[in-house]
Amino acid sequence: MARGVRTIKVKLGKNGKEDVERIRLIRAAVGPDIALRIDANQGWDFATAVETLNALAGYDIQFCEQPIHHHYDNLLPELRRQSPVKIMADESVCNHFDAIRIIESGGCDYINIKLAKSGGILEAIRIADVAATYGIPCMLGGMLESRLGLTAKVHLAMSHENIVYYDLDTCLLGHLEDPVTGGAEYRGFDLEVPDSPGMAADIQAGFLARCGKATI
């Protein structure tokens, strides 16, 4: 994938005032040239989200993912009106029907697509296509998939012009073993995929032999 702007994503959402101080310190440490993204993981209530996002206005935040719980999607349009930080819907959008609902309500600036959340690549493509129709850019995120899943995500990102942001580091988090042969590979901060037919990725037979099995 093409080399882009270096970014830091910060998980917030527990205490608004502490979240602001955390971002202040990070921005002071990294300077103005690193893009900052934040993810509240549904952690703020509406009032805290409004207060915190306004307090973060001076720190050049690229966007905030899912500031409030998806049960309160009806409040997202008003939050977006009051927020100086752009809003990205994540847990609020699991399928393309959700995407239509959130976009038409005016509840988001961006959508985070995850293959595991949407149930697979077909529904992920539908979400991206709906968002493109409405002029809403998307990010491709992850949920601790292996590099096999990562490879599918990278192919999707490279084939869809409306996917313009990427959060694809989850294979580096918490995996004790990499059983994948071929496929997408990390090259520092960049991802590369083989120029081969299909995904060009597979799982090692020895690893599969050690896995539990169930017949349904």
Residues marked as catalytic = 11, 39, 65, 90, 114
Per DSSP, 200 falls in state -
User: Hunting for tokens 């440490």 — which residue is that?
Assistant: 29
CA distances (Å), 93 to each of 105, 134, 168, in order?
Answer: 13, 15, 18
CA distance 105 to 91: 16
Beta bridge partners of 61: 36
3-class secondary structure, 49? helix
CA distance 183 to 151: 6
Strand residue runs (E) in the chain: 7-11, 35-39, 61-65, 87-89, 110-113, 138-140, 163-166, 180-182, 185-187, 190-192, 201-203
